[in-house]
Structure 1
Amino acid sequence: MSQVHDLSAAAQLRALRSRDISARELAQHYLDRIAKLDGELGAFVTVDPELALRDADRADERLARGEHTPLGGIPIGIKDLHATAGLATSFGSAPLAGHVPAEDAWTVGLIRRAGAVLLGKTNAPEFGVACYTENAVTPGPAVTPYDTGRYSSGSSGGAATAVSAGLLPIAHASDGAGSTRTPAAACHLVGIKPSRGLVSLAPAGSFFATGIEGPLARTVEDAALLLEVMAQPPSRDLYGWTPDTSLAQAGRSRPNRPLKIGWWTDTGLPGVAPHPESVRAVRRTVELLRGLGHDVREIAPPARYDETAARAVSDMLSISATMSVTTLVPAEKRDQLTAHTRNLAAAGAKMTGSDVLLMQAALARFAGDFLAGLDDFDIALTPTTSGPPVPLGHFEAEGIERVNERMLSWSCYTPWANLTGQPAVSLPSHLDDDGLPHSVQLVGRLRQDATLVSLAAQLEHEGLWDAVHPPHWFR
């Protein structure tokens, strides 16, 4: 028998507006599923049924008056790295468990004002500096519902787990080096990292910002629906800009011309080869794109991870961890930090101002090589990850000191788009013989997000992937 979570977010929105279902009924359905299933999945840090049902009742009141806000009545989760007024935000860190912000982050405020019903906070690694979601706040890691012995990646791992298992219709995510796209890959979802400035980092700001918030969803239309709500930067945003076309409309359309697409599967890392199924994912996408009339050509990676570039990516994580620890965690509580965070913060604390400038210069050169190498192309196509979701414990298996190296080996295709600021989307491809998901990444030109989203919608419409749900979906 069909369940309400079988409906896409867009279909749920239509059902809410036609009064075929109430926002309270919809919220309660998902709250019940979370209570029943999340103990095995690790998707949520905090769930607040009272808040959720209060929000749902307000949504029903607006719907009864004929007020149709963009997300009116749709349940959602907010990643635990982003502040929510009145709802605990731990940043994935045990020393900050129970911290309740006084104000929403900018994008959280947009989502709330769009009428979404906030169910809770989704799981994330401590301060978001890992591509696996395991911390000292929750009893267990966030796992992919396709194999609960494997990570759902990170840092938006909890969000991806929730959407994939039918605990949420859509979810808020963020991406500093692949943290929306690799969880999407691990959970057979659509994940969008927008162009720099389309979604605001406010109230934070930085001249060297690689992170940006975006949506996780089961369909391109759903992802675009949430992205349109998020894409409203304030005037004070250093990089803020507004698209001249509707992103929600792009999620239901097709490109208006054939696109020139360059593809590769080379990881760019010495001695690291992609999994055969990662290669298969790209090659089947290439054939579909050619059949749709696009100009698709194999190219070499525009840049490779030499020792300088790989070190700079690792140092970027160390500096991020150091800043988070020194600004947020009292000295007397730092022994509660995870071993990975302590290791990164210790490395970052040893870096001088000159070291940081040299790191930024190395990353800028790396990014510039990608921009130059892709100047003749509308889209770049790669795997999203070098292989399927990895088993629990994989990244720390050779010691804390090698975590960054092992993370980069698996997520090597994603960081460059954060450095260049280009929009990128991870799309499902297929499940392998072991039932594990594989995916592809498409990267568009800077500020051409609508073109990228429309191409993703075309691939979905033409059957790039099937909506093969994991076992938890049917429970």
Structure 2
Amino acid sequence: MSDLHELSASRQLAALRTGQVSSRDLTEHYLTRIDRLDRELGAFMTVTAELALREAARADECLARGEWSSLCGLPLAIKDLYPTAGIRTTFGSAALGDHVPTEDSWTVGLLRRAGAVVVGKTNTPEFGATCYTENGVTERPAVTPYDPTRYASGSSGGAATAVAAGLLPVGHASDGAGSIRTPAAACHLVGVKPSRGLVSAAPATSFLSVGTEGPIARTVADAALLLDVMACPWPGDLYGWCSTTSFADAVTHPPRPLKVAMWTDTGLDGLDPHPESVHAAERAARLLRDLGHDVREIAVPARCDELTRQALATWFASSVGLVVPTLVPPGRQHQLQPYTRHLVAASAEFSAGDVMRAQSMLARYASTFLAVLDDYDVALTPTTSGPPVPIGYYLADGVEQVSDLMLDWSCYTPWVNLTGQPAVSVPSHLDGDGLPYGVQLVGRQRHDAEILALAAQLEEGSLWSDLHPPCWYR
């Protein structure tokens, strides 16, 4: 058998069930790779080797009896924004460096009950507030394994780094403004942001629901496998719904001919996309046409003008400003990162009316996208406006510039969180410097199975090659 990490998650599960490999062997393989490689990659916040081996032993007992659940024996790590009973959960903050929850979050509980073996917590920025993964807890930011001098994006940077480097078979992640899709693009992976309500945010509830958990994987089939487990809403979810089909089954059937709207305009005045980002979208459009889909280039449905930028900044800062006092005791707030302190200070200046007006403006912005795209089944864009950025890029000119720089790079993704549509980022190609680019597919609300089937069709049509970074072979 090949090195175990070379097998897809689906093939690893098949090998576990047929007895070709034990969960202990598989878990030890990944723990060894984590120990050997992660110091230079920054993928993990916490590694739980002893716990993982105990869970692997229990999984092997179940497998020996022929009793297994969908993820039985498969190693997995949880993004460190989500509570895990008995495992340190820092939310990316040094102020919570010793926080150990007593209960799992809803989705973590689903994954553990499905038999996943938890090997640790993946790296994330403080409270998930940036599209780069750097904090005061870990010594190393999460970097793309294709160039360790560049960020793996964020806030699911640790998960993407781990999957791309062969430290995990598949990754648990979350996305509030692109935080699954941009790390997937930066690491040559598949990243799925589900429709609003498909994956529960419990125990959190909100009338403005923009964030959601989802999978990061090497293949569309592996992403669908994990999404099938995660897509089980909590009964009290305001937007909860259940799919009528298995996503793992859906990706095996090509979709019907679809009408696709494509644009590469960033929607930001004065900002042009990198030529390789445009090339990525054009490659995908050509293949979609070859596969029988109707692709039409359109103008970006809504521009992100200065007022919209301000509304995004107000909404974002106010969100962080609510979270920090809830989670961080006053005596520890001096340990917060400079950008977090900047957001908290900004949020203190907003009135309730300011926040409500910002939310109203963003709702109109999102509605414009929905109205324009009503005649289309799918939207196609680049995932990012350029390649992964160098370490230190966002803070080079001070915390005041971070928000604008992040929006410039990730400008294609936040609108999808506002509309609640499903989106998948799939790999495209590596440029002449070996840096990855991805493209984003956005489907109709609650048409997650269809957009996954389209992504699988592009994978089958060889939109991207099965490439790996140098550390994959170490």
Classify the TM-score, shorter chain: over 0.9
**Corresponding position of 2:369:** 370
**Corresponding position of 1:290:** 289
Spell out, residue by residue over 1:36-92, the C-alpha distance to the aligned partner (whole angstroms, 9 max, x if none): 000000000000101101111111111111113111111111000000000000000
- Displacement of 1:316 in angstroms is 2.1
Give the whole-Å Cα distance in 1 for the aligned partners of 2:345 and 2:209: 22
Give the whole-Å Cα distance in 1 for the aligned partners of 2:366 and 2:385: 20
**Corresponding position of 1:184:** 184
Give the whole-Å Cα distance in 2 for the aligned partners of 1:134 and 1:163: 18
**Corresponding position of 1:63:** 63
Give the whole-Å Cα distance in 1 for the aligned partners of 2:332 and 2:288: 53
Give the whole-Å Cα distance in 1 for the aligned partners of 2:408 and 2:397: 13
**Corresponding position of 1:461:** 460
- Displacement of 1:116 in angstroms is 0.6
- Displacement of 1:176 in angstroms is 0.2
**Corresponding position of 1:324:** 323
TM-score (norm 1): 0.99
Matched, 1:386 2:364: no
Matched, 1:333 2:351: no
Give the whole-Å Cα distance in 2 for the aligned partners of 1:130 and 1:465: 27
Q: Secondary structure at the match of 1:143?
A: coil
**Corresponding position of 1:350:** 349
Amino acid of the residue matched to residue 115 of structure 1? Answer: G
- Displacement of 1:406 in angstroms is 0.2
Give the whole-Å Cα distance in 1 for the aligned partners of 2:407 and 2:430: 23
**Corresponding position of 1:210:** 210
- Displacement of 1:314 in angstroms is 1.6
Give the whole-Å Cα distance in 1 for the aligned partners of 2:313 and 2:179: 15
TM-score (norm 2): 0.99
Matched, 1:147 2:147: yes
Give the whole-Å Cα distance in 2 for the aligned partners of 1:250 and 1:39: 38
Counterpart contact for 1:322–1:344, Cα < 8 Å: yes
Spell out, residue by residue over 1:141-171, the C-alpha distance to the aligned partner (whole angstroms, 9 max, x if none): 0000000000000000000000000000001
Counterpart contact for 1:129–1:320, Cα < 8 Å: no
- Displacement of 1:330 in angstroms is 1.1
Unaligned runs of 5+ in 2: none
- Displacement of 1:399 in angstroms is 1.3
- Displacement of 1:458 in angstroms is 0.5
**Corresponding position of 1:429:** 428
Matched, 1:75 2:69: no
**Corresponding position of 2:8:** 8
Q: Secondary structure at the match of 2:356?
A: helix
Counterpart contact for 1:225–1:251, Cα < 8 Å: no
Structure 1 ranges of 4+ moved more than 2 A: none
Give the whole-Å Cα distance in 2 for the aligned partners of 1:319 and 1:130: 15
- Displacement of 1:312 in angstroms is 1.3
**Corresponding position of 2:403:** 404
Spell out, residue by residue over 1:334-389, the C-alpha distance to the aligned partner (whole angstroms, 9 max, x if none): 11100010001110111110011001001101100000010000000000000010
Give the whole-Å Cα distance in 2 for the aligned partners of 1:68 and 1:239: 31
Counterpart contact for 1:379–1:444, Cα < 8 Å: yes
How many matched pairs? 474
- Displacement of 1:467 in angstroms is 1.3
**Corresponding position of 2:86:** 86
Amino acid of the residue matched to residue 56 of structure 1? Answer: A
Matched, 1:251 2:257: no
Give the whole-Å Cα distance in 2 for the aligned partners of 1:314 and 1:388: 24
Amino acid of the residue matched to residue 182 of structure 1? Answer: T
Q: After alignment, is 323-332 or 7-16 more displaced?
A: 323-332
**Corresponding position of 2:166:** 166
**Corresponding position of 1:449:** 448
- Displacement of 1:238 in angstroms is 0.6
**Corresponding position of 1:239:** 239
Give the whole-Å Cα distance in 2 for the aligned partners of 1:395 and 1:251: 37
Give the whole-Å Cα distance in 2 for the aligned partners of 1:295 and 1:68: 43
Amino acid of the residue matched to residue 17 of structure 1? Answer: R
Amino acid of the residue matched to residue 28 of structure 2? Answer: Q
- Displacement of 1:251 in angstroms is 2.5
Give the whole-Å Cα distance in 2 for the aligned partners of 1:43 and 1:219: 19
Aligned residues: CA RMSD: 0.7
- Displacement of 1:98 in angstroms is 1.4
Q: Secondary structure at the match of 2:174?
A: strand
Aligned pairs for 1:299-318 within 5 A: 299-318=298-317
Give the whole-Å Cα distance in 2 for the aligned partners of 1:275 and 1:433: 13
Q: Secondary structure at the match of 1:320?
A: helix
Between the aligned residues of both structures, percent identity stands at 65
- Displacement of 1:253 in angstroms is 2.4
